[in-house]
Amino acid sequence: MSINPREFIETLIKRIDFTQEDRAILKSQADWGKQIAPDMADHFYSYLGSDPEMSSILNGTEERIHRLHKTFIEWFNEMFIGIDDWGNDYSERRWRIGLVHVKIGIGPQHVVPAMATVIHEVGKRLEADGKDQTLLDALSKICMIDLAFIDQAYIEVSSAAIIQETGWTEALFKRMVTTSVR
């Protein structure tokens, strides 16, 4: 089981209705995004640090938290610029971010509330800076697309590991999952 990141983002773009207008709004506010990114990173990591389980993951290695601040800022800025108009490079990058989280055991129960925190903090800042609601709508949509990548990576990697370990076919695996709910 594996996904094609480009096809996946195209599906998500349609499902979430991430429009050309949303893209234009984000691009036009890229400087504002750059300006607030370090504060957003601070909020994000102090939120993660307040949860004992996530805090111990964050402080797993000494330089990790430092590196994470930098990668969060890059991630945040990329949502505004779209890298290659939210195309191949953007989707490959989001898929990789998903895989990095799977590898360290971070799943939907961690990333969903974390992404809600990002949207909440951005919303507060947006209001304080007198920005338009349309910017929050566009940002919320792209955050949901990015979140879907991290969650889907978890499902794809877990399923692929079971299929590989057991030798089951994908069809058998899917049937077992759907019929196992009581």
Please give the residue ranges that form the binding site for ligand HEM (CB under 6 A): 48, 54, 57-58, 64, 67-68, 71-72, 75, 96-97, 100-101, 104, 106, 110-111, 114-115, 118, 146
Q: Residue 43 CB, nearest distance to ligand HEM (Å)?
A: 12
Residue 169 to residue 14: CA distance in whole angstroms: 30
Please identify, using beta-carbon distances, which residue of 88 and 166 lies nearer to ligand HEM: 88
We find the least distance from the C-beta atom of residue 122 to ligand HEM, in angstroms, to be 11
Task: Name the nearest CA neighbour of 105 among 63, 45, 53, 174.
Answer: 53
User: What is the distance between the alpha carbons of residues 95 and 7, in angstroms, rounded to a whole number?
Assistant: 12
What DSSP designation does 29 have? T
Rounded to whole angstroms, the Cα distance separating 141 from 154 reads 20
Distance in Å, CB of 100 to ligand HEM, minimum: 4
Closer residue to ligand HEM, CB minimum distance, 39 or 170: 39
CA torsion angle 138 109 34 59 (round to 10): 180
Q: Which is nearer to ligand HEM, 97 or 163 (CB)?
A: 97
Cβ closest to ligand HEM, residue 114 vs residue 163 = 114
Q: 80 is written with which tokens?
A: 């505004």
Q: Minimum distance from CB of 172 to ligand HEM (Å)?
A: 33
